[in-house]
Structure 1
Amino acid sequence: MKSVSVIVPVYNVEKYLARCLDSLLGQTQPDIEILVVNDGSTDTSGRIVDEYAQKYPDRIRAFHMENEGVSAARNRGVAEAEGKYLTFVDSDDYVTVDYLELMVEAAEKNHADLVVQGFRMVDESGNVLAEVCPTAYIPGEKEEWPLRIISAWGRLFRREFWMQHNLTFPLGVRAEDAPVNLAANALAHHIQVVPRAGYQYFQHSASAMHNFKGLQKYRLPYEALEKTLQYIQETGLVNDRYFYEYCVMRILAFWVFEFARGSSVAKIKELCHYIMDMLNTYIPEYMRNPYVNPFRKLEIPFVHRASIWVLAVLCKLHILTPVIRVYAKLLH
């Protein structure tokens, strides 16, 4: 069995793909497999994928599919994976040489289902724009780091855990990471963090979030998130309830303050009604969560803590929709 299956979804990244794959080939962690899934690229990315697979047949496996989106590409990679652990790397990003070794070491030492490592945001010149580096994870006391890192990358999952809970990325939506990460944060019996920023998140003009223009052409994973909340409720929460609820609120706050901008009134209403329904149904006592207080000491930026508090207050006062409509209009 391979130690790690690294899943790399690819779509039109001919300029950056070699850098990503070279960083994975240079890993100090032995016996990894790199599963590169070409999601119907229209540039030369597919050819680059094949060239690397032919050059490194023992380490890289190439898959080609019609364009179905990043979720479908990741799901295909998971289906083909043979490693003990799973991790995801976006094809325009790259990682430091010991990125995988440090996470596998933490997982093996602590029998972890989930390991989280920090990241650096870098620009096209290699300048570090920001760095997020975890400190510690203490069950029931300091559980914020898994909800601080909200993307699929920067995480190592035990494949057995992934398959046990039938985790999958929802198709045809934005923010596809949220349901998967929420389930992992809630259900992993052992979680570890690596106090390093080994993932290099590349911020450039063509990146998806950089070019996001609202929810006119996109949909959020409403159904998938609700199914995840139901599943966690039925299966039984493993980790701290307050941190879990805070994680749900973190997702909802991110959605409303990030994705409402540039969206139509109808889309904003749909989003706000969904958020209020989720809170009232699954976290009816959200205002009593001690972490909602923005001045509670957590290793989460104050602006994020404040956004969660604002969301909670607006929902409690039943004025979320009108306020977010004004907010979106001002920032449009």
Structure 2
Amino acid sequence: MDWLGTILDYSKEFGEVAVFGFLFAGFLQAVARPTVVARYLSGYSLWRANAIGATVGFFTPLCCCTAIPTALALWRGGSRPGPACAFLIATPWFNWYGLVALWIFLGWQMALVVAGSGVLIAFLTGMIIDWQSTDRCTARSLATEVPETVCTTTSCSVKSGSACCSTVDVVGSGKFFDFSHPWKKLQMAGTNAWALARELLPWIVAGILIGATVKTWLPTAWISALEARDWLTPVLALIFATLLYADSLGSLPLVNALLQKGLGPGNGMILLIAGVGSNIATLGPIYREMGARVAILYACCVMTLALLLGILWTLFL
């Protein structure tokens, strides 16, 4: 009964953000102009472009899976590799949808820890990648090749030049949002919202079941003994997060259960950020599009910075 009650509690918590979140996310994806974002990311100094890359995802609520084709679209559309990578790292947690879910599941303090750490790790990783990039002085000028899949929340592959839900604005008016043809935009929003729900619901259901199982049956003494190992626990959390790929929202119930069992906040942050930022599903597309050098730097920076911040948060929270 405790297990079923926990499942119902987690389902209710997801229900508080899911319906409105899917609809509003679909609408934002229908009206946003990704090529304008790409121009911002390629037209500024390195630090400013990476700062924008790490924070602009707040307005484009994407999970870790759907952030991948969008980040690659920004890269192909003229962004440097650093800002595109910064966008990919920060967006799953630093967006209004992810922040609301973090707040509901983990509380406001943990929400700020995870989102703030995500932005900081994303910014520093982007800066390091750009500093070490052989073409760091100039951005790529491939604006005409921006894949049109960036207008949808649902595609986990990039299809350059294919028909999608809207026409890519290569020249554009410079405005971040396009509210023309409102009826068509509403139709696109509904389509995007339904597709996003179909994509994320399996992850959410799996996360609810795993989280309920851990919360109900995992002995608290195990977590207490693990936390007593000091430096070893963050390393184990990092290894576990890297090997076990999970959608960002789907991983929330598991981390919630572990925190209630006594896991430190820093280790919880490692599980959330490293889990969506340093797995094969993310590194594979980066390797194919940006090369082995960028992929290695990306993985090393995310894991190292997440580990250091995790140890820091565990000491001070």
Query: What TM-score range do you get, normalising by the shorter chain?
Result: under 0.3
Which of the pair has the greater relative contact order for Cα pairs under 8 Å at 6+ separation? Answer: 2
Alignment TM-score, normalising by the size of structure 2:
0.27
Alignment TM-score, normalising by the size of structure 1:
0.26
